[in-house]
Amino acid sequence: MQCSFLEQSDQQVCAILTLMQEPSIPFFVGVDIGTTAVRCVVGEMAGDATQPSIIGFSEVENSGMRKGNVAHAEEIVQALVSAVNEAERTSGRTIKSATINVNGSHVQGLNSKGVIAISSANREISVDDRARVEEAATIVQLPANKDIIQVFAKNYRVDGQDNIKDPVGMHGVRLEVDTHIVLAATPALKNLEQVLERAEVRPSHRTVSGLAAAEAVLDRKQKESGALVVDIGAGTTNLTVIEDGEVEHVAVIPMGGMHVTNDLAIGLKTELEIAEMVKIKHATLHAKADGETSLVKDGQQYHFDRSLMRMIVSARMEELFEFIDKELKRIHRSKKLPGGVVLVGGGSQLPGLIDFAKEELQLPVRLGKWESLPIVVDNIKGPRYATAVGLMLLDMLLGPAAVYDDVQPGFMQTLKGSASSILKRIKK
């Protein structure tokens, strides 16, 4: 409905009528800004549905990121605008806001504790007390140029009684909380914020890629028993450990699929473009890879030794899983996660990677699957969409950002989401 030609008093009425004509079914949006692509997923919750249906998606090439960080802002803006426009076309919805991922090796996690005294006369712990102790846990000496983007309450203690998941309603004098705080570099966050502003996309919430992927591919049993989600992207690999239903550890390794491409280009003495084609079409970790393979580009045929290719790829993957195991050793979980390892991201589709990862980590390993969600549109499948789908789910679970507009900066927001959600506490 065009309202611009009306008088100013009538324009407001026209705008309201226009909004009333929009579909009333709630919809949710996740945008994964990756190193090589921007992916946007739109879901809606219709009728008596228990989970959202995917009604729109898009995937647009992105060359403006370097290892998860903004390198060429204008290129990212163009990719983001194109992705949003395509998602709007396929879903029939107008996208103004979305839950966005934060990526890069600058992302890190640290453990912190908060302690408060219960001041009420009857010593009953209230929701405000829970919020106060969580806020107390954020009062830590942060590294230079770091901001808190998320805080996860792992467990509480009341007068020394440990392993309490929710202390509200209990009685005591002293309330403590153990938290895991996720930090990101302030300049990186500001650069991302400027990109979103120029693309006219308002961030409803921010989270790291691995946490979003975990929401999409982990079931409740895995979250309780202890599992690791490994999101292998082009420039980075995100790690998230979930145990007892809570976030135990978050880390980002500055290594991904692009490093395999670079290694192949050097080892095979070929161009990067050819190396990327070799990786996608012929690279494998299967032990029986031998003989010669070939591909044709621009009328020219290229021949490569399969055993050499496997040696190059396995060397890089071995290094990556050494870093992953090092992170597990930091939290004393090496070879000790009953829920196993779940691989997602474009790099997880490398043939033979499942068995290779089992051998390297000495844990059960599987490929992450999120396709149990109802899908209305075609051609969206595979582990590379796990992060975008998880961001869409979090957009639904965490609710509209406008709900928290009256919350003062720095105040911990307590969110009541689905029992299956790993994000129980989040700082917008």
Distance CA 228, CA 243 (A): 9
Q: Fill in the DSSP letter of residue 227.
A: E
Q: Fill in the DSSP letter of residue 385.
A: G
Are 386 and 231 in contact by the 8 Å Cβ rule? The answer is yes
CA–CA distance from 280 to each of 39, 240, 260, 284, 346 (Å)? 19, 26, 11, 9, 10
Beta bridge partners of 177: 114, 156
Are 388 and 57 in contact by the 8 Å Cβ rule? The answer is yes
pTM for the whole structure: 0.84
Terminal-residue alpha carbon distance, the chain: 34
CA–CA distance from 372 to each of 98, 255, 368 (Å)? 22, 30, 11
Lowest average pLDDT, out of 18-27, 88-97, 116-125, 232-241, goes to: 18-27
**The listed CATH number (1.20.1530.20, 3.40.50.740, 3.30.1490.110, 3.30.420.40) that belongs to domain 108-183:** 3.30.1490.110
Fold: same for 24-105+187-210+372-404 and 219-256+314-367: yes
pLDDT value at 409 more than 70: no
Instruction: Return the SS3 of 276.
Output: helix
Give per-residue pLDDT as tens, 202-251.
999 999 999 999 999 998 899 999 999 999 999 999 999 999 989 999 99
CA dihedral (115, 120, 125, 130) in degrees, to 10, reads -50
CA–CA distance from 2 to each of 14, 17, 30, 307, 335 (Å)? 8, 11, 29, 64, 62
Higher pLDDT, 38 or 411: 38
Distance CA 206, CA 146 (A): 15
Give per-residue pLDDT as tens, 42-78.
999 877 778 899 999 999 999 999 988 899 999 999 9
Neighbours of 362 (CB within 10 A): 12
3-state secondary structure 20-52: HHCCCCCEEEEEEECCCEEEEEEEECCCCCCCC
pLDDT given for residue 103 in this prediction: 92
Q: Is the dihedral of CA 11, 13, 18, 19 positive or negative?
A: positive
pLDDT tier at 373 (50, 70, 90 boundaries)? confident
Helix (H) or strand (E) holding 73: helix 73-91
Architecture field, domain 24-105+187-210+372-404: 2-Layer Sandwich (3.30)
Mean pLDDT, range 249-272, rounded to an integer: 95
Distance CA 56, CA 93 (A): 9
Neighbours of 85 (CB within 10 A): 14
Q: Based on the number of CB atoms within 10 Å of its own CB, is 322 exposed (0-12), middle (13-18) or buried (19 or more)?
A: exposed
Domain locations in the chain? 24-105+187-210+372-404, 108-183, 219-256+314-367, 258-313
Mean pLDDT, range 187-211, rounded to an integer: 94
Distance CA 206, CA 102 (A): 7
Percent of the chain with pLDDT over 90: 69
Percent of the chain with pLDDT over 70: 88
Higher pLDDT, 251 or 21: 251
Single-letter code of the amino acid located at 145? N
Distance CA 240, CA 209 (A): 9
pLDDT given for residue 426 in this prediction: 41
**The listed CATH number (2.60.40, 3.10.20, 3.90.640, 3.30.1490) that belongs to domain 258-313:** 3.90.640
Lowest average pLDDT, out of 172-176, 199-203, 287-291, goes to: 287-291
Place of tokens 């975990």: 214
CA–CA distance from 232 to each of 35, 343, 372 (Å)? 11, 7, 21
Architecture field, domain 219-256+314-367: 2-Layer Sandwich (3.30)
pLDDT tier at 278 (50, 70, 90 boundaries)? very high
CA angle 322, 326, 332 (to 5 degrees): 140
Q: Fill in the DSSP letter of residue 414.
A: B
Q: What is the CA radius of gyration of the chain?
A: 23
CA dihedral (242, 243, 249, 255) in degrees, to 10, reads -40
Mean pLDDT, the chain, as a whole number? 86
| 284: Cβ contacts below 8 Å, ≥ 6 apart | 306, 309, 310, 313, 350, 351, 352
